[in-house]
Structure 1
Amino acid sequence: MSAATFGDLVRQWRDRLDPADAGFIRTTKSRAPGLRREELATVAGLSVEYVLRLEQGRATNPSAQVVAALARALQLRRFERDQLFRSAGLLPPQDGLVDSHVPPGVTRLAARLGDVPIGIFAADWRLLWWNDMWIALHGDPTGIPETERTVGHMLFGTGPAAAYLRPLRSPAGPDAFAATIVADLKDATARYPADGQLATLVSGFRQSSPLFERLWAAVGASTLAGEEKTVGHPDVGDITLDCDVLTVPGADLRIVTYTAAAGSAGAGRLDWLRVTRGQSLDAAGARNEGVYRQGSA
């Protein structure tokens, strides 16, 4: 790895990224252009010290997961992401495999919708990006090991991810959500037959989860669609919301949003979460040199 080149690229792309595009709101005008190192660390899910060491060339072997997280946080175009991988001495993600790249326009759009819980998922239902309202509704996923940060592990696993998912109810029945995820994973294995990680994920669930195996045998084509969901929240009780799954042309991503009709009980509970989220973040020190954090990745 050319450590200096990698650090130079990170600094160069951090300096060009407008904080608003990463979900930060300026409250003062006295700041240098670009994203602060602390903000990049927050968005990428890394420590500030580690980002500093990477930029200074003192950390010389970032993993593919770290490089991918930085590429998403810096909102790199695909060819820039590949350049960052190569500068770290790593092969860029190959065609024919499930891609974790989130186009910059998608990240900017999601970052500007800070009042709506949003999560962005890859085709294997890895959680790639989330905002503070997602944390307020579902909890903070950073405590889940990255290899298990998938909806499959949340529904069918036995590790930390299984404890993360708050109770979800659907009018379609108790297994409707799980069936939709299994059907979409079944479609993904057909689209990405060369992806060994996806194959291992699916075969593991088929061996360890009777529910997954039963649904795998029963489901047909994936039918991703919006539906009403009730989330059992530990602070505000049940919140009934419209959950929609949006897709991105040219990118095999799923953008999951939660909204409620104005004046509904769900809207009132979401408003409460917005207010308490802001208070808790402020109390935790999220106000940083005149910038208030609104988005996460």
Structure 2
Amino acid sequence: MDRQELGAFLRSRRERLRPRDAGLPAGPRRRTPGLRREEVAVLAHISTEYYVRLEQGRAPRPSAEVLAGIATALHLTDAESDHLHVLAGVAPNRTRLHRRDVRPSILALLDRLPRTAAFVMSATFEVLAWNALAATLMEDFGELAPEDRNLARRAFLGPAGPGTTRYAISDVTAFRHQVARELRSTLARYPADPAVTGLVDELRQAGPGFARLWERHDVQTTPTLTKTFRHPVVGEITVDCDSLALTDRDQHLILYSAPPGSPDAEALALLDVLGPDYVKASGPP
């Protein structure tokens, strides 16, 4: 517990709030910026004396329940609440759901990327948004139900039905290890999210493959630098794989590209011209 830093953080968050933000009257003789300490204490359902001691760096370690009350009283964001818990040396209460709404600027960016297959993936490996080249290289996710766009589910359970997939990847074993590691971390962040717990339970019950990896309790991930697709139109194509964290929503922007002038870049360019409808019309491999 970093008492001094915790106190300074609480003061800074308290002083930035205006009374009306907390539903309180401003009053004619308010001498300090933001809320008063006793107001925060009332809103957080703790004693004023204890809250004052927290800001002064003299209080014993607060419980997770006390910190949750303070976070609500001070209108902390998720990131600020997590930081508050870290400073107090207390694991945060995880009650929120993972986000599936994609930022509009990222949606616009997807279609502006030249000759790059790009898609946005949630914390549970669901493909949330994609551009035309991603649909051509991988699959037209728009024709699938949301649950069938989940790459973790497909890695262990296979495609939704006959003819629903037109691509294969060479690193499926490594990807399955990645899924198990990242889902364990996701579950730690969202233990009360039914979408997360439901997916983990489904994969554990489906067969020994995921359950065996899950019981290893691995969380350390290694970046995937390249990925090879076996495509029905252009054959084998190896692409550079870059994953950019969208930290505000706990999502990732996945980019597949190839070095300019390489055969793989030429194959991507051809797929970019053909589009997903051509690939669908060509039939399964």
Range class of TM-score, shorter chain: 0.5 to 0.7
SS at match of 1:160: coil
State the TM-score, normalized to the length of structure 2: 0.60
> Residues 229, 198 of structure 1: CA spacing in aligned structure 2 closer, same or farther, 3 A cutoff?
same
Partners of 1:154 and 1:164 within 8 A in 2: no
- Shift in Å, 1:114: 4.9
1:246–1:219 distance in 2 versus 1, CA, 3 Å: farther
Amino acid in structure 2 at the alignment position of 1:166: Y
Cα distance change on mapping 1:119 and 1:222 into 2, 3 Å:
farther
Q: How far apart, in 2, do the equivalents of 1:161 and 1:253 lie? A: 27
Q: Distance in 2 between matches of 1:205 and 1:165?
A: 23
Aligned-partner Cα distance in 1 for 2:143–2:110: 22
Residue equivalent to 1:255: 253
1:150-229 alignment runs, 5 A limit: 150-158=150-158, 160=160, 163-164=164-165, 166-170=167-171, 174-218=172-216, 220-223=218-221, 225-229=223-227
Matched AA of 1:181: V
Cα distance between partner residues in 2 of 1:245 and 1:234: 25
Task: Give the equivalent residue in structure 2 for 1:139.
Answer: 139
Q: Distance in 2 between matches of 1:261 and 1:160?
A: 33
Distance 1:119 1:161, change over 3 A: farther
**203 and 275 in structure 1: CA distance in 2 versus 1, 3 angstrom threshold:** same
Work out whether residues 168 and 229 of structure 2, in 8 Å CA contact, stay in contact via their aligned partners in 1: yes
Unpaired stretches in structure 2, ≥5 consecutive residues: 1-93
Please state how far the C-alpha of 1:108 moved relative to its aligned partner.
Answer: 2.1
CA contact (8 A) 1:245 1:255 kept: yes
Question: Hey, what's the Cα distance between the residues in 2 that align with 1:219 and 1:235?
Answer: 39
Instruction: Report the alpha carbon displacement of residue 95 of structure 1 after superposing the two structures with TM.
Output: 6.6
For 2:32, the equivalent position in structure 1 comes to: none
- Counterpart Cα distance in 2 of 1:101 and 1:248: 12
The change in CA–CA distance for 1:98 and 1:177 in structure 2 (over 3 A counts) is: same
Matched-pair contact (CA < 8 Å) for 1:111–1:131: yes
One-letter identity of the residue aligned with 1:220 = D
Cα distance change of structure 1 residues 138 and 224 upon mapping to structure 2, 3 Å threshold = same
Give distance in 2, aligned partners of 1:208 and 1:143: 24
Amino acid at match of 2:271: L
**Distance in 2 of aligned mates of 1:224 and 1:99:** 24
The equivalent of 1:107 in structure 2 is 107
Aligned residues: 186
CA contact (8 A) 1:120 1:127 kept: yes
> 2:241 touches 2:254 (CA, 8 Å); kept in 1?
yes
- 1:161-211 Cα shifts (integer Å, max 9, x gaps): 7953722114xxx51111111111111000001101210110111011321
Deviation at 1:219, TM superposition (A): 5.0
- State the alpha-carbon separation in 2 of the partners of residues 197 and 118 from structure 1: 24
Q: How many Å separate the matches in 1 of 2:235 and 2:217?
A: 32
Larger Rg, first or second structure (1 or 2): 2
Q: Mind listing any 5+ residue stretches in structure 1 that lack a counterpart?
A: 1-93, 284-297
Task: Tell me, yes or no, if the aligned pair for 1:167 and 1:232 is still in contact at 8 Å.
Answer: yes
Match of 1:129 in 2: 129
Aligned residue for 2:215, secondary structure, equals: helix
Q: 1:161 to 1:118 in 2, by over 3 A?
A: farther
Question: Is the CA contact 1:114–1:133 (under 8 Å) kept in the aligned structure 2?
Answer: no
Root-mean-square deviation (CA), in Å?
A: 2.5
Q: Distance in 1 between matches of 2:128 and 2:134?
A: 12
Cα distance between partner residues in 2 of 1:135 and 1:142: 8
CA distance change for structure 1 residues 260 and 161 in 2, over 3 Å: closer, same or farther?
farther
